[in-house]
Amino acid sequence: MKRDAPHDCPRIEALSLLIDDEISGSARRDIEAHAASCPICGATLRDFGELRGTLGALGRTSAGIDIAALIDERLPPRPAPAARPARRRRGWRWQLAPAGLAAAGVLATGAYLGMVLGGGGAVTVARTPAVAVFDAVPPGGLCVAPVCYGGGR
Amino acid sequence: LPAEQRQAILLREIEGLSYAEISTVLDIHEGTVKSRIARARAALASAVRESES
């Protein structure tokens, strides 16, 4: 406060707090009573009140312009590197990776359960007589070892 | 206004924050907030008076 206030005047902080309704009760009444009789504090309180109204109105005022568009106009044209979309696509794919893994897991689990529950666990291979000669024991043979047939030593 | 006073008064009058909220935002004591706002008001009121005279 630039004006010279008498010594019994409240501090400038008290007047500011009064404007903000941060003082209540007897303290508030004392300051208001003093401001009513003190030309300096009374004028300061009025100034603060007017200031509050002015600044409060500023907060509700819209500039009415699109500042982003004005800035965009002044910026030089942006080069469009091909790397940026590619990077974005890669990121997009990685985002789907967990979902893909989960889907693969569900499919694998389903196939396994289908095999077990449907009897597919015991896979049977159709044997034909034509391929029996490739078996470890030839057709009619009783011995697994090749020495039994005179071919191995 | 000094930047510290300007911050405090704008947070109070434009953003409508309480003293406690301003204290948190600026990481200063609430008493400091009160004094900064009061000094800002006094300086602004003085500037307005001078501009009107």
DSSP string for residues in B4-24: HHHHHHHHHHTS---HHHHHH
> What pTM, to 2 d.p., does this model score?
0.53
Residue A128 to residue A78: CA distance in whole angstroms: 72
Of A16, A58, A59, the CB nearest to B37: A16
Tell me the pLDDT tens digit for each residue of A39-67.
999 999 999 999 888 887 776 767 777 77
Q: What rounded mean pLDDT belongs to chain A?
A: 76
Higher pLDDT, B9 or A3: B9
Torsion of CA A61, A65, A69, A72, to 10 degrees: -80
Tell me the pLDDT tens digit for each residue of A79-116.
777 666 555 556 667 778 888 888 888 998 888 888 87
Residues of B in contact with A42 (CB under 8 A): none
Q: Determine the length of chain B.
A: 53
Residues of A in contact with B13 (CB under 8 A): 52, 55-56, 58-59
Tokens 């893909």: give the residue.
A100
CB contact under 8 A, A16 and B48: no
Closest CA to B40 of A40, A48, A121: A48
Q: What's the confidence (pLDDT) of residue A115?
A: 81
CB contact under 8 A, B38 and A13: yes
